[in-house]
Chains A and B, each alone.
Chain A
Amino acid sequence: MAIASPQTRQARLLKNRAVQRFLESTSGLIGLGLTLFIVLAALLAPVLNPYDPATDRDYAARLQGPSLEHWFGADGLGRDILTQVWYGLRTSLVIGLVAVLIGLLIGVALGLAAGYFRGWIETVIGWLTDVMLAFPSILLAIAVVTVTGPSVVSVMMAVGIVQIPKFIRLTRSMVLSLREQEFIQTVRAFGARPPRIVFLHILPASLAPLIVQSTLAIGTSTLEAAGLGFLGLGAQPPTPELGTMLSDAFKGGYSLTAPWTIVFPGLFITLTVLAFNLLGDGLRDALDPKGSR
């Protein structure tokens, strides 16, 4: 039987403690449950709900309220709102995830470079961060979509770009505090080259706050993406998207006469954002207890 080294044992102990702390966090557990529900619903949409959100229309049911046939009612084109919301959730989730991935990859790379190399690299990246943060996020996203034209891909890029400076700041501050620590100095003294130090030692040590930030960022990205959809800059018809559904209901005036056209899409945006916010809070309690208040 192999005997675990002290380091492995310590790592396992830390992991167990983190899992225990997560299990004790009510918000984390509710967030996990909600996230699983939303992700599963989005994944299983085509299996559980065989209607095509774009083409299945029932003009006779136009603007009909919730009923046994149409649980969430029907929209101005006679489309089933439940089906639309269900598929819209898929679009919104994919946008949120890809946007965070864009922000994470670019932001972490720039943050690592700024924090490790310092000097002019840090100055330039710091300047870029300040300039990007000088725009209220929705305006920066609007500016990006104005350039790229409204589409799902544009929204992913726009919302992803908005996330970049936040990840740069977080990663840079992590690197700055880690690079002076003894274990990094030791690795450096042994002659390790910068890429090795950054990717094998500094990055793994920064993972916990990055995971927490990414989870919370999925929530904000989903919210911002829906905002762009509401402004008509998001997914274009017939692709269902929650923000675009609200936009259609608002522009068509249905929000004043047929409230179900706004209640359900908005409710599911809120649930999705809430799920990731709660999950992020729980993860912070578990992984970064000093950061949680």
Chain B
Amino acid sequence: MGRYILRRLLQLVPVLLGISLLVFAFLHLIPGDPAVTMLGDRATPDAVEKLRERMGLNEPLPLQYLTFLGNLLRFDLGTSIFTGVPISKEILQRWPATFELSVVAMAIALVIGIPAGVVAAVRKNSLVDNLAMGGSLLGVSMPVYWLGLLLVYLFAVNLQWLPPSGRIGINASFAPITGFFLLDSLIQGDFKALGDVLSHLILPALTLSTIPLAILARITRSAMLEVLSQDYIRTARSKGLKEFWVIGKHALKNAMLPVVTIIGLEFGTLLGGAILTETIFSWPGIGSWIYGGILQRDYPVVQGGVVFVAFVFVLVNLIVDLSYAFLDPRIQYK
């Protein structure tokens, strides 16, 4: 097992190098001078030269890449052109917001998606199955930001039940400790803040959960259908086991392996895909920050944000791979 983990970690090296190379290449493939593009056409040659110097653009390309790589290893992703704040500091500050939103969205997807998939499989071709699968197809076909805009219009503007944007009310007297507001409000026993944080989370988390929810329902259904046709399920039934236990204990446990893969993949996608949802809800996470970087042509922000999200995505997938060992003892790690 230890050797397997080591081998998987070693396999990551070329992929991580590839990511860094690709992201580095993007900045250097931008037509024209990146410094001019960032500062605009009206920038003075002196300002352009200063920025080129600051960004190390006057060095030979291979040296620039090595510097970039070295900085990356030290989690030094440069500074934002517009705010002057180091990218790594900004990421650490914004990461809890994105992570919290993704976790809550995934929780919603799990709580609704898996039972929906199980029921659809058990009642195959019934009205419930058709509704669940129709809903799931709609979920993957709908632009999430559109759903977000509709939810804001309905629940924030029209009904005024929930706030339209942000993480916490502007008048809230709340001092975060970890940056994870749900956790912080619980630690401090501040239930007023907890309610405030939850009310801000509901709409963006619901919006973000649509795609993983739809995919999880589909995958759970198909995995369950496969398991339910196996001999051991027939045996369990024939020995008189109650249907609840056949489904809940024997079938569901064995159907979970493909579901766990999808949970990992989707969680990785959530962390990166939150860019659209965060933009709609002015959620102060990594996604809305990258969006701001795009609008302001702040390339170090876009570069740093993209490289960070890609690394997280790769790491999440690694954790999923490794978790198989605990879930399915039949898998041998040679």
> A residues near B, CB below 8 A?
27, 127-128, 130-132, 134-136, 138-139, 142-144, 146-147, 149, 219, 223, 226-227, 230-233, 243, 246, 249-250, 255-257, 259, 262-263, 265-266, 269-270, 273-274, 277-278, 281, 293
In the assembled complex, B289 has its CB within 8 A of some CB on chain A = no
* Of A134, A144, A146, A265, the contact of B310 (CB 8 Å cutoff): A134
* Complex Cα–Cα for A129 and B21 (A): 14
Residues in chain A near residue B309, CB distance under 8 A = 135-136, 139
Instruction: Indicate if B283 sits at the interface (CB-CB under 8 A).
Output: no
Contact partner of A223 (CB less than 8 A), chosen from B31, B141, B280, is B141
Q: Is the CB of A146 within 8 A of B314?
A: no
A134 touches B314 (CB 8 A): yes
Chain A residues with Cβ under 8 A from B153's Cβ?
255-256, 259, 262
Chain B neighbourhood of A27, CB < 8 A: 137
- Whether B150 lies near A143 (C-beta < 8 A) is no
Contact partner of A138 among B29, B138, B272, B314, CB < 8 A? B272
Q: Are A136 and B269 in contact (CB under 8 A)?
A: yes
Known: A138-B273, A138-B276. A232 touches B295 (CB 8 A): yes
Of the four ranges (under 10, 10 to 19, 20 to 34, 35 or more), the interface on chain B belongs to 35 or more
Q: How far is the CB of B254 from chain A (nearest CB, A)?
A: 16
By CB atoms of chain A within 10 A, which of B295, B306, B309 has the most? B306
Q: Would you mind naming 8 contact pairs between A and B with Cβ atoms under 8 Å apart? A: A136-B313, A139-B309, A146-B30, A230-B145, A250-B145, A256-B157, A265-B146, A273-B140
Report Cα–Cα, A96/B30, bound state, in Å: 24
**CA A27 – CA B295 in complex, angstroms?**
40
A231 contacts B149, CB within 8 Å? no
Q: Is B106 an interface residue (CB 8 A)?
A: no
In the bound complex, residues from chain A placing their C-beta under 8 Å from that of B299 are 146
Closest chain-A Cβ to B320's Cβ sits at a distance in Å of 14
CA distance A147 to B313 in the complex (A): 22
Q: Which 10 A-B pairs have the closest CB atoms?
A: A136-B272, A131-B18, A266-B146, A273-B141, A293-B222, A274-B141, A147-B29, A270-B142, A255-B149, A262-B149
Chain B residues in 8 Å Cβ range of A230 = 143, 145, 276, 279
**Are the CB atoms of B141 and A243 closer together than 8 Å?**
no
Q: Does B268 contact A (CB under 8 A)?
A: yes
Interface of chain A, main secondary structure: helix
B45 lies within 8 A of chain A by Cβ: no
Q: Is there contact, CB below 8 Å, between A232 and B294?
A: yes
B51 close to A (CB within 8 Å): no
A3 to B276, CA, bound (A): 60
Q: Kindly report which residue of chain A lies nearest to residue B295, judged by CB atoms.
A: A232
Q: Which residue of A lies closest to B311 (CB)?
A: A134
Given contacts A135-B19, A262-B153, A293-B222, contact A143 B26 (CB under 8 A): yes
Contact of A227 among B18, B225, B276, B313 (CB under 8 A): B276
Q: Say yes or no: B143 contacts A250, CB within 8 Å.
A: no
Across chains A and B, the number of contacting residue pairs, with CB separation under 8 Å, is 137
Q: Is the CB of A246 within 8 A of B141?
A: no
Whether, in the assembled complex, B275 has its beta carbon less than 8 Å from a beta carbon of chain A, the answer is yes
- Bound-state CA distance A293–B133 (Å) is 12
Contact bitstring B133-174, A, C-beta under 8 A = 1, else 0: 000011011110110011011000100000010000000000
Inter-chain CA distance A205–B314, complex, in Å, is 34
- Given the interface pairs A138-B272, A233-B294, the reply to whether A270 lies near B138 with Cβ below 8 Å is yes
Partner of A266, one of B14, B30, B149, B310: B149
Instruction: Count chain A CB atoms within 10 A of each CB in B15, B146, B157, B309 and give the residue with the most.
Output: B146
Q: How many angstroms between the C-alpha atoms of A233 and B279 in the bound complex?
A: 14
Beyond A142-B290, A143-B23, A277-B137, whether A256 also contacts B145 by CB under 8 A is no
Separation in Å of the A11 CB from the closest CB of chain B? Answer: 31
Inter-chain contact A263/B150, CB cutoff 8 Å: yes
CB <8 Å contact, B15 and A274: no
Smallest CB separation, A260 vs chain B (Å): 11
Are the CB atoms of B272 and A139 closer together than 8 Å?
yes
Most B C-beta atoms less than 10 A away, residue of A130, A134, A277, A281: A134
Q: Which residues of B contact A226 (CB under 8 A)?
A: 143
A139/B275 in contact, CB under 8 A: yes
> Complex formed: what's the CA distance from A112 to B279 in Å?
40
Verify if B302 is at the interface (C-beta below 8 Å from A).
yes
A227, B302: Cβ atoms closer than 8 Å: no
Residue contact A134 to B152, C-beta cutoff 8 Å:
no
Docked CA distance A143–B28 (Å):
12
Tell me which residues across on chain B come within 8 A of A263, comparing CB atoms: 150
B143–A270 CB distance below 8 A: yes
Let me know if A246 and B146 touch, CB within 8 A: yes
B68 beta carbon closer than 8 Å to chain A: no
